[in-house]
Amino acid sequence: MVRRPLDGVRVLDLSRILAGPLAGQLLADMGAEVVKVERPGAGDDSRQYGPPFLDGDAGRMPGFSGFFLACNRGKQSVAIDIASAEGRAIVRRLAAESDVVIENFRVGTLQRYGLDYASLKAENPGLIYCSVTGFGQDGPMAERPGYDGIFQAMGGLMSVSGHADDSPGGGPMKVGISIVDVITAHYASIAIIAALYDRDRRAGQGQHIDLALLDSCVATLSHFAQNYLISGKLQQRRGNAGYGGVPSQSFRCADGSLFLTTGNEAQFRRLCHALERSDLITHPLCVDNLTRTVNREAVSVLLEAVFLTRDVADWLERLDSADVPAGPINDVAQVFANPQVVHRRMATEVDNPLGGTMRVVANPIRYSDTPIERATRPPGLGEHTAEVLCGRLGFSMEQLAEMAASGVIGMAG
């Protein structure tokens, strides 16, 4: 068996939708044993976030939406009703022998169930307990609900995305994917791994991680936020133009568009030679990056007139030969057909619960000594209830049958 970085770490995933589950998936990819607790009969809300739903040799399974498949790889699913006293007791027993708990309930909900950090810490002092919420555990908005788009709006991301107000289609623009959820998941996985490392240095003492989507969005503004904090000036939206060297933007060609960036003067000179417009090197609008930045729009017009004379493939070949950073603007189908993406195996195959195999997005981390190679499919609802509760907690099949009959648990099949 290939060793993985988090082999032996046990994670109890009480989260739903995207940010929490994706954090759990990242830990599972690195070897953690992740048990996902879902509602009997319904499961994670995202199981129904379709179409599309998974197809296979045995037909179609609505409980396997593409959304769910994207963030629950490598987990075991147990269906437990935490609204019942018996169900809560089972979850507490699972938490008592886990290293990590991930939850994204609204503030105060799990405290009412006795599943909050203080309650679980009393039985498991080494527990790392990660709470993922919209606004955090404290503050005037802590109890408010929220979704990704709301945080993109409130957290400033929309204000710096999109075209300028006076441009066609101008105005703040939401990023297409649920980017705040995804980024928060990455912060969560980093925080959990660091807390595990710290626990090993502090004689087994765990801690609570309070992670908010709004905070994560604000942090993601990065240099845009820092520019404001030192200047007091707001960043202007530039659509598909970059904010560093000029040019750094998309250009229309005869049959499509490409994106390029010239980050220094040597690259700009090479660009001009590739365009067969060496005269632009000494053009009054282009003599250095500061001049090009001041005259950004005029420079763009000059360059796009040249790009419109040839196809994307032709220009990309020329730019690559000239060592100018550039690339096509691909749709998702083109992404997974890209030879570099294929070579890096960013789509990998796992078993399809309906028969055969299916492709999933691979983890991009490449370890030299502990490779992430054993991707396993996302679980069916309650697929591992019997395995986990019998194997870990010592329940008998007769006890499981009684609890299933009363609705405390759910079991696949």
Residue in 13, 81, 99, 181 annotated catalytic: 181
Q: How many CA atoms lie within 13 A of 303 on its CB side?
A: 30
**Cα–Cα distance between 127 and 205 in angstroms, integer?**
8
**Nearest 5°: CA angle at 379, between 375 and 381?**
170
**Cα–Cα distance between 349 and 204 in angstroms, integer?**
38
Sign of CA dihedral 40, 42, 43, 44: negative
**Which residues, including other chains, have CB under 8 Å from residue 275's CB and lie 6 or more apart?**
303, 306, 307, 318
Task: Answer whether 35's CB lies under 8 Å from 11's CB.
Answer: yes
**Cα–Cα distance between 272 and 71 in angstroms, integer?**
44
SS3 sequence of 244-310: CCCCEEEEECCCCEEEEECCCHHHHHHHHHHCCCHHHHHCCCCCCHHHHHHCHHHHHHHHHHHHCCC
Sign of CA dihedral 379, 148, 331, 271: negative
**Cα–Cα distance between 191 and 198 in angstroms, integer?**
10
**Cα–Cα distance between 20 and 223 in angstroms, integer?**
26
Amino acid of residue 262? T
**181 part of the active site:** yes
Task: Answer whether 149's CB lies under 8 Å from 228's CB.
Answer: no
59-65 and 53-56: which strand pairing? antiparallel
Determine the distance from the C-alpha atom of residue 114 to the mean position of all C-alpha atoms in its chain, rounded to a whole number: 30
Q: For residue 125, say if its preceding peptide bond is cis, omega within 30 degrees of 0.
A: no
Which amino acids are annotated catalytic? 181
